[in-house]
Structure 1
Amino acid sequence: MRLEFRNVSKTFGLKAAVDDVSFALDGAGFVGVIGRSGAGKSTLLRMINRLGDATRGQILVDGTDILSLGGKAKRAWQANCAMIFQQFNLVPRMDVASNVLHGLLGQRATLATIFNLWRAEDIRRALAILDRLGIAEQAAKRAEALSGGQQQRVAIARALMQDPRIILADEPIASLDPMNAQLVMDALKRIQVEDGRMVIANLHTLDTARRYCDRVIGMRDGRVVFDGRPDLLTTSVARDIYGADANFTEDMTSTAIEERDEDIRYAAVLVGG
């Protein structure tokens, strides 16, 4: 599969969230998108999934401009392009297995969905996916009873129920502790390698990008300022991506940089007044 951005821009009013972006991805691989908050990372992923449309440009998948799709063709593409969110987007009071089965919503009749009627083969498949992710024993529990890391693995299982060609993950570990973050990233990497799927993930640490990604795209102010192998992601390159000063360290996250900048601004106010 080939995914290609051709001069893609997305504007909100006078601000360009994504500004004339072009790149191409070929075949299965794990691609990390890094940059500060507001760099355009989430907007980029949402356009691929058609949760938001571009202002101009083309996004081609095997030569077809997915931005031109509508109706049934658009829904079919969205089924082929699963999205995993930072805050999981599960139904808290619904049991885990049913949350996973909801990955099939776009492929089922409305009445069957309303009455929560599922085919036995779909239930078996959902349980097998949960087992693959190490949480089959949680299938009957409400999603809200699980830890954050477990909920994110349920969200991954729901995505896998779609049997997508691409998995998009928008800051999938930003709200998790280090142990659960590793479990989630290990699961995504294993799925990418074993299933031969393309995974594109917005990430917030350089260390994570280096450890899991085959390719890294760095964004700043809506533009791609780096596109290459993770071993080329030096501290100097990271400064270009994050706009950090000489005190930048390699394990800083975009959130940490923003907090540091806020501390500097607050100190300046105190000194000045």
Structure 2
Amino acid sequence: MLVFDKLTKRFGANTAVDNVSFTVDRPMMIGIIGASGAGKSTLLRMMNRLTDASSGALAFEGQNVLALKGAAVRAWQSQCAMIFQQFNLVPRMDVVSNVLHGTLNRRSTLATLFNLYPQADIHRAIDILERLGIADHAAKRAEALSGGQQQRVAIARALMQDPKIILADEPIASLDPMNAQIVMDALRRIHEEDGRTVIANLHTLDTARQYCDRVIGMRAGRVVFDGRPEQLTTGAARDIYGANAGFSEHATSTSIAALERAQPGLAPKIPA
């Protein structure tokens, strides 16, 4: 259903994504891991057409995504929704209106200008918020919510688009362990219950192993690992991160239990 063929992105003399090729043949939850600068975010941005590829091909259900222009790009972005690390909400706008922004690509300019939404869309937005456990906050300004709640609002906005693919770019990097777990649980349920493909850039190995059906490791723009979570051994992780024998997963663990073992009584925020 989704085919990457030598997808490449260059920024001047630097190659951010280098000849990436892999196929997704069914809906699944995929984790992309790698050190900062490995090309993970650039890969997702090319998928969503926020960044143009330098070369290569990307096809979804036989459609050449990279050849789309104008309204066709916006239609694709509705089918391939993006969730960002910093939520990208309108802080002073209420939660329901932020969720309803997921319908902007299919609304008229006049309706957008006057902030007019069909009752059916409003009810659907509230239903999605209920599903994510934050319907009680529907009338609040987005800025009044915690980081974990804001990320769930961002997920709700993506679901309003009724996408086939959800891309999540470091969705838990700025969250504490408890909220990270809530957000990842939500993404996993969306995959399992809706049959949507979820592709998430992640910065911790335990999260990738726990939630993903498949893990792709990137290093210097290239795919250096592609396998099942149980194949992601410490040795494989060293290769992905270019680390030596002193590499330890505990330093970046999102597991509350692991954090408690390392620092009893503390639950520090996950490093970005």
* Fold match by TM threshold 0.5: yes
Alignment correspondent of 2:40: 41
Query: How big is the shift at 1:111?
Result: 1.5
Query: How big is the shift at 1:252?
Result: 3.8
List aligned pairs for 1:184-203, cutoff 5 A.
184-203=183-202
Once residues 251 and 20 of structure 2 are traced to their aligned partners in structure 1, the CA distance between those partners, rounded to angstroms, is 25
Once residues 217 and 252 of structure 2 are traced to their aligned partners in structure 1, the CA distance between those partners, rounded to angstroms, is 13
Mapped contact 1:206–1:252 kept (Cα < 8 A): no
| CA deviation map 1:36-75 (0-9, x unaligned) | 0000000000001000111000001112210001112111
Mapped contact 1:207–1:251 kept (Cα < 8 A): no
**Which is further off, 240-249 or 214-223?**
240-249
| CA deviation map 1:163-204 (0-9, x unaligned) | 000000000000000000000000000000000000000001
Q: How many residues end up aligned between the 2 structures?
A: 253
Query: How big is the shift at 1:245?
Result: 1.5
Once residues 204 and 58 of structure 1 are traced to their aligned partners in structure 2, the CA distance between those partners, rounded to angstroms, is 26
Mapped contact 1:218–1:226 kept (Cα < 8 A): yes
Secondary structure, aligned partner of 1:129: helix
Unaligned runs of 5+ in 1: 255-273
| CA deviation map 1:185-231 (0-9, x unaligned) | 00000000000000000001000000000000000000000000010
Unaligned runs of 5+ in 2: 254-272
Once residues 236 and 129 of structure 1 are traced to their aligned partners in structure 2, the CA distance between those partners, rounded to angstroms, is 41
Give the aligned residue type for 2:107. R
Mapped contact 1:205–1:251 kept (Cα < 8 A): no
Secondary structure, aligned partner of 2:50: coil
List aligned pairs for 1:45-84, cutoff 5 A.
45-84=44-83
| CA deviation map 1:247-271 (0-9, x unaligned) | 11123439xxxxxxxxxxxxxxxxx
Secondary structure, aligned partner of 2:250: coil
TM-score normalized with structure 1 length: 0.91
Alignment correspondent of 1:178: 177
Alignment correspondent of 1:138: 137
Q: Cα distance 1:253–1:12, how it changes in 2: closer, same or farther (>3 A)?
A: farther
Give the aligned residue type for 2:60. V
Q: Structure 1 residue 22 and structure 2 residue 10: aligned? A: no
Mapped contact 1:216–1:228 kept (Cα < 8 A): yes
Once residues 251 and 37 of structure 2 are traced to their aligned partners in structure 1, the CA distance between those partners, rounded to angstroms, is 17
Alignment correspondent of 1:257: none
Secondary structure, aligned partner of 1:18: strand
Once residues 94 and 208 of structure 1 are traced to their aligned partners in structure 2, the CA distance between those partners, rounded to angstroms, is 32
Q: Alignment identity in percent?
A: 72
Secondary structure, aligned partner of 1:251: helix
| CA deviation map 1:82-139 (0-9, x unaligned) | 0000000000000000000000011101121121111000000000000000000000
Alignment correspondent of 1:3: 2
Runs of 4+ in 1 over 3 A off after TM superposition: 251-254
Secondary structure, aligned partner of 1:182: helix
Mapped contact 1:36–1:242 kept (Cα < 8 A): yes
Alignment correspondent of 1:154: 153
Once residues 237 and 12 of structure 1 are traced to their aligned partners in structure 2, the CA distance between those partners, rounded to angstroms, is 28
List aligned pairs for 1:101-116, cutoff 5 A.
101-116=100-115
Alignment correspondent of 2:267: none
